[in-house]
C-alpha cells in the first residue's frame, strides 16, 4: 500500500502553532501569493495573533469536516506550504485549497505532488466521490497544474472577482473518484 503522507517530492506534516505562525507571518507579506491563494483582501496580522488562531485550531483537534496538513520537502525537510480540505460527507465531496508560501518551490512540481497526495487521501482513505476546487482566471500556472492532475474545468463564474480596477472570472474544477481510479490504473500499467 502507498504511504498516504509521503509523495515523491513532499510529505504531509503537522507543524506546531509556533512554526506555522513564524512561516505565515512571512508568507502574508507576499501579496502576489495571497492574491493567488484567496479572494479575501490582503491583510497583515502579528505573529502573536496568527499563533492564537493556530493554537485555537490545535486545541480543537482533528475534525471530520476539516482536515489540514502542513507540507515539507523530502529533500531538505523544509516547511514550504499547506493544504486544507473541507469535507461534505452528506454529498461525499471535498473542496481543497493549497498554497506554497516559499517562492523558490513554485513551478517545480511540488504543487502537483501535493495534489496527488491529496487525491489519494480523499479517494483512497476518505472514500469520497468527488474533489472540487476553485481558482482565479489570472492564475494560469495553477490551472495547468490542476489539469495535469486530472481535474476538469467545469465552468467559470463571469467577472466575480474585482481587483486592480477590473473584474476577473473564477474557474471551477472537479475530479470524480472513477476518473481518479482510471488515472491510477493508467499509471500502474
Chain positions contacting another protein, by CB under 8 A: 90-93, 129-130, 132, 152, 154-160, 162, 167, 172, 174, 176
Instruction: Tell me the C-alpha to C-alpha distance, in Å, between residue 48 and each of 45, 51, 61, 63.
Output: 8, 5, 20, 24
3-state secondary structure (DSSP) of residue 184: helix
Q: Give the containing element (helix H, strand E) for 157.
A: strand 152-163
Alpha helices in 29-160 (DSSP H): 31-37, 47-60, 110-120, 140-148
Torsion of CA 111, 115, 116, 121, to 10 degrees: 140
Q: How far is the CB of 64 from another protein (least distance, A)?
A: 17
**CB of 31 or CB of 157, closer to another protein:** 157
Between 40 and 76, CB nearer to another protein: 40
CA trace torsion 53, 54, 55, 59 (10° rounding): 110
C-alpha grid cell for residue 151? 481535474
Nearer to another protein, 18 or 178 (CB): 178
CB of 157 to another protein, least distance (A): 5
29 or 152: whose CB is closer to another protein? Answer: 152
In the complex, minimum distance from the CB of residue 92 to another protein, in angstroms, rounded to a whole number: 6
Nearer Cβ to another protein, position 21 or 173?
A: 173
Q: What is the closest distance, in whole angstroms, from the C-beta atom of residue 158 to another protein in the complex?
A: 6
Buried b (16+ CB within 10 A) or exposed e, 160-181: eeeeeeeebbbbbbbbbbebbe
Q: How far is the CB of 156 from another protein (least distance, A)?
A: 6
Amino acid at each position: 500500500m502507498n504511504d498516504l503522507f509521503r509523495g515523491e517530492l513532499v510529505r504531509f506534516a503537522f507543524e506546531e502553532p509556533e512554526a506555522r505562525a513564524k512561516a505565515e507571518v512571512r508568507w502574508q507579506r507576499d501579496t502576489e501569493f495571497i492574491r493567488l491563494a484567496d479572494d479575501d483582501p490582503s491583510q497583515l496580522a502579528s505573529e502573536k495573533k496568527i499563533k492564537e488562531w493556530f493554537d485555537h485550531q490545535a486545541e480543537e483537534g482533528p475534525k471530520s469536516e476539516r482536515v489540514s496538513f502542513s507540507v515539507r520537502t523530502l529533500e531538505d525537510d523544509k516547511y514550504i506550504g499547506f493544504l486544507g480540505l473541507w469535507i461534505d460527507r452528506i454529498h461525499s465531496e471535498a473542496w481543497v485549497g493549497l498554497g506554497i508560501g516559499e517562492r523558490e518551490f513554485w513551478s517545480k512540481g511540488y504543487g502537483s505532488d501535493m495534489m496527488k497526495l491529496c487525491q489519494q487521501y480523499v479517494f483512497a482513505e476518505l472514500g469520497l466521490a468527488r474533489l472540487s476546487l476553485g481558482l482565479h482566471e489570472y492564475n494560469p500556472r495553477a490551472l495547468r497544474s490542476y489539469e495535469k492532475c486530472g481535474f476538469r474545468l467545469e465552468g467559470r463564474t463571469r467577472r466575480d472577482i474585482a481587483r486592480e480596477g477590473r473584474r476577473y472570472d473564477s474557474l471551477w474544477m472537479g475530479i470524480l473518484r472513477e476518473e481518479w481510479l482510471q488515472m491510477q490504473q493508467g499509471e500502474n500499467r
